[in-house]
Structure 1
Amino acid sequence: MTHVLGRRDPPDEEPPENASTGRLGTYRARDGSPGAAVRIDLDGPHAGLVVGKRGYGKSYTLGVLAEELACAEGVAPVVADPMGIFGSLAALGTDIVADPAVAADALAPRAWCDLLGLAPSSSAGALVWQAATARSSLAGMRTFVADADTKAERATRRAADNHLALAESWGVFDPDGLTASDLLDAPAGVVLDLAGLDAAPANAVLRAVAGGLYDRCVGGRPTRLPWLLIDEAHAFFEGVADPALRAALTRGRQPGLSLVAATQRPSALPAVAVSQADLLLAHRLTSRADLDALAEARPTYLGSLEERLPTDTGEVLLVDDATESVHAVRIRERETGHGGGSPSASEL
């Protein structure tokens, strides 16, 4: 018997023939031996959270999910890869986008103020807001700011342009940058390789991507449902991408957008990231702050989280809110390999 987790129907019933599911692993028996096969629902939208301390399989599990999504029908995975460890998905036909760029107008005027650290009520912030409203490209925004006819004082124009010049130096804004349609049309999904970017430009790309996918779903149901997978998610919930990620978590499932966040620091995520997750995959955790963050937001049927968490690499406690059940699972081996291990001096 194969069990499908994350479905509203009983997990031990066979799913409809055309329903997408992914091979996650096997149940973990009390003696440590593998039990029945476990699959995860990919047919409907989900909000997922993968947590675990470094070295216990958090990113590996995210990679397994990405592999299954890349091979499933009707879904479009988009992986935000800040560590550069998901390139092996290219073996499945996934597009690996190095140095991803987005159009400047993919960010709303308010987002430009947030990105540049300018208060919208400040003179420079107000000018950047006006520029983002009036122009669709970063070059056009700088031209707008430099326009001699503007009523802004020279010092204000200089300050605004200095901030826009910094954004231009990041190299992540391009009029022909990625769009939601580009991401949805990739047959086996897309990996956004953000490893070479600092926090601000990486956040800018992800805010544009998350916002674009959400808007695309709200504007009309796409032919393939997007899944946004984010590794090291705390770095983005702490940055300018936060508003778009919160919207995806709290409002994304209804129009068809799934979001799965992976982090070794659940205590650094907003409470909504934990409470909104209908699928929680928890590897080993030892930090009291991280344990408390999960325990405070999880339902009563979970019981004592600390006592139930696994201790070995590759094992996960899966909390399925759809059926209000908890499962001990061993994650299957990756098909495309994993680039997340730490280097060893003895292997050099």
Structure 2
Amino acid sequence: MTFIKNFEYVLGRDKKEINKFGKIGCGYLGKTIVQMGATFSLTNNIYMDLAKPHIVLVCGKRGTGKSYTLSVIAEEITLFSKQIGKNIAGVMFDTMGIFWSMLYPNYQDADLVKSSGLQPQGVPVNIFINEKSIEKYNSLGIKYKGLIKLAVGELSVVDWALIFRLDINSEEGILLQKVLANIIDKKKEFDLDNIIAAIEKTKANEKAKLLLANLFEGAKGWGLFDSKGTPIDQIVLPGEVAIVDVSTFEFLYGWSVRALVVGLILRKIFDARVTARKIDESEQMSHYIPNVKPPTMEKFKYLPQVVALIDEVHEFIASDTETPATKPLLQWIREGRQPGLTLIMATQEPGILSPTVLSQVDIVISHLLTSKKDIEALRSVAQTYMHYDIAEYFSTLPRVKGVCLILDDNSEKLYTLRVRPKLSWHAGASPNILDKEINKDKFIYK
């Protein structure tokens, strides 16, 4: 079959931006799909804008390729030229412990990668873990960049209440408020031992004191807290992608602690980027207004624009539950445009997401969905440029991993895409004891 390349699509850019910038600052996602009789062919390239802020939703039922798509986008950030890369960074929150394998080439799918005009290669991601994971990573021979430490003084009463699932108006909740208020008045930096000591000295119900002290004693075993946290500019580096492995928190408060890590890092990035935007604006103004001088970079922890990629986001910002990550995520969604923050969220349950998420999404990448509730959620996102119901589009998708629908508000178009093969190894596939080599789809790669 002859392949004819007509043109290329760029998600997230209007015609004026495409004419001005072309594909610069974009990531290559894959190719559009055209059905010709019983055969499906891959035709035009699709790119996604990463140069300006977007809210992107990646969804699909289990095993359809959400995590794969996330890591393809992360790969693209690492592939930018130095000129573009110095202005962007990625932070990927790994809830399943699968993205460490991006350090290694995708030799298992080498033929597929090469047939797409690419070459297998590991990508330079920086893996961050907690203290309790050091032995596991070392025993498995997995390289990591550094440790994630959260400064105890940066956590609010609400954060602790959400982690420990305490009613803030209960005896324990009121005691927590009193203890933290007293410590903050006296110290800027403190650790969990300081909190426990303050609890024991406070006059209060002994049962409440014992319960609260035991909760903080248990938190000491998470390998996460210290008087000083990991500086955000050690995690967010220009042209690089940090993988923050939160999958190892598997105890009673596992998802709450994961949400705390996600939420606190997002808050610190947001604050740093607000400052960075003032520096950027001052720099730009200085070219037009003689008496305006931008502040020197040495005085601030300057962060480039950031793309945050979050897997299983429904665990952090569901419509009926608040977590320590909920407010920071909503802040990114509502206010992240001006600081230059892109949020890419993956979920297998879009139907339980906060309505605010769905209302603000400007790019949807949806793999197969079959649940009525989830399809209804996408209907709420669907725009007037769709000619048919979203369920009809899903019914025409070929049942092959990596195939998805794309809704792009910027171009007001819908596309059918096959995500490109990963350059790096993917550890998120389902294991199969039969060890079969299955490659029976009907796509033609040109």
TM-score of the aligned structures, taking structure 2 as reference length: 0.72
Name the residue aligned to 1:212: 268
Which consecutive residues of structure 1, in runs of 5 or more, have no partner in the other structure?
A: none
Q: 2:312 aligns to what SS in structure 1? A: coil
Q: Aligned ranges for residues 5-20 of structure 1 at < 5 Å? A: 5-9=11-15, 13-16=18-21, 19-20=24-25
**What is the rounded CA distance, in whole Å, between the counterparts of 1:161 and 1:187 in structure 2?**
43
What is the aligned partner in structure 1 of residue 312 from structure 2?
232
What displacement does 1:176 show? Answer: 4.1
Contact 1:45–1:258 (CA under 8 A) maintained in structure 2: yes
Q: Which amino acid aligns with 1:95?
A: N
* Residue 198 (structure 2) pairs with residue 144 (structure 1): yes
Q: Does 1:339 align with 2:393?
A: no
C-alpha deviation, 1:277, in angstroms? 1.0
Letter in 2 for 1:8: D
Taking a change above 3 Å as real, the CA distance of residues 108 and 219 of structure 1, as seen in their structure-2 partners, is farther
Q: In structure 2, what is the Cα distance between the partners aligned to 1:26 and 1:215? A: 37
Percent identity between the two aligned chains: 30
Kindly provide the amino acid, as one letter, of the partner of residue 35 in structure 2.
Answer: R
Change (3 A) 1:219 1:130: farther
* Correspondence 1:286-301 to 2 at 5 A: 286-301=370-385
1:37-87 Cα deviation digits (max 9, x unpaired): 111101001111000111211111111011112233121111111111111
CA distance in 2 between counterparts of 1:33 and 1:103 reads 52
**Alignment-derived partner of residue 126 in structure 2:** 95
Look up the match of 1:284: 368
**1:111-126 mapped onto 2 (5 Å cutoff):** 111-126=159-174
Instruction: Map 1:234-273 to 2 at 5 A.
Output: 234-238=314-318, 239-273=323-357
Deviation at 1:311, TM superposition (A): 3.7
Query: In structure 2, what is the equivalent of residue 86 of structure 1?
Result: 99
Q: Secondary structure at the match of 1:29?
A: strand
Q: What's the secondary structure of 1:142's corresponding residue?
A: helix
Deviations for 1:78-136, whole angstroms, at most 9, x for unmatched residues? 11111111112333211111224322233223222222222222232133234444154
The amino acid that maps onto 1:343 is P
State how far apart, in whole Å, the 1-side matches of 2:78 and 2:225 are. Answer: 27
1:175 aligns with 2:260: no
Contact 2:233 2:303 in 1 (8 A): no
Q: Does the 8 A contact of 1:284 with 1:311 survive in 2?
A: no
CA distance in 1, matches of 2:241, 2:178: 35
For 1:28 and 1:20, locate their aligned partners in 2 and report how far apart those are by CA, in whole Å. Answer: 24
Of residues 65-74 and 117-126 in structure 1, the stretch that sits farther from structure 2 once superposed is 117-126
Letter matched to residue 128 of structure 1: L
Query: What is the identity, as a one-letter code, of the residue corresponding to 1:141?
Result: I
Deviation at residue 226 of structure 1 after TM alignment: 1.1
- Give the Cα separation in 1 of the matches to 2:418 and 2:316: 28
- 1:200 paired residue among 249, 253, 256: 256
SS at structure 2 position matched to 1:255? coil
Distance, in Å, in 1 between the alignment partners of 2:334 and 2:362 is 11
The AA in structure 2 aligned to 1:70 is T
The CA RMSD measured in Å over matched residues stands at 2.2
- 2:259 and 2:332 map into 1 onto residues whose CA distance is 15
Decide which of 84, 106, 120 is 2:154's aligned counterpart: 106
Q: Is the 8 A contact 1:107 1:207 kept in 2?
A: no
2: distance between equivalents of 1:19 and 1:145? 56
Alpha-carbon distance change, 272 to 66 in structure 1, aligned in 2, over 3 angstroms: same
Task: Check the 8 A contact 2:59/2:66 in 1, yes or no.
Answer: yes
1:22 is matched with 27
Indicate which of 5, 8, 23 corresponds to 1:2.
Answer: 8
Matched, 1:327 2:404: no
- Distance, in Å, in 1 between the alignment partners of 2:385 and 2:370 is 21
Residue 154 of structure 2 is aligned to residue 66 of structure 1: no
The alignment's TM-score, normalised by the length of structure 1, stands at 0.91
How far apart are the structure 2 equivalents of 1:180 and 1:297? 34
Residues 1:188 and 2:244 aligned together: no
**Any gaps of 5 or more consecutive residues in structure 2?**
1-6, 104-121, 131-147, 278-301, 437-446
**CA distance change for structure 1 residues 172 and 319 in 2, over 3 Å: closer, same or farther?**
same
Which shows bigger deviation, 292-301 or 45-54? 292-301
Mapped partners of 1:186, 1:255: distance in 2 = 16
Note if contact 2:150-2:225 (Cα within 8 Å) is conserved in structure 1: yes
- CA gap 1:61/1:243 in 2 versus in 1, 3 angstroms: same
Gap change, CA 1:17 and 1:8, over 3 Å in 2: closer
Q: Give aligned pairs, total.
A: 345
The CA deviation at 1:178 is: 2.8
User: In structure 2, do the counterparts of structure 1 residues 43 and 186 end up closer, same or farther at CA, with 3 Å as the change threshold?
Assistant: closer
Taking the aligned partners of 2:65 and 2:23, their CA distance within structure 1 comes to: 30
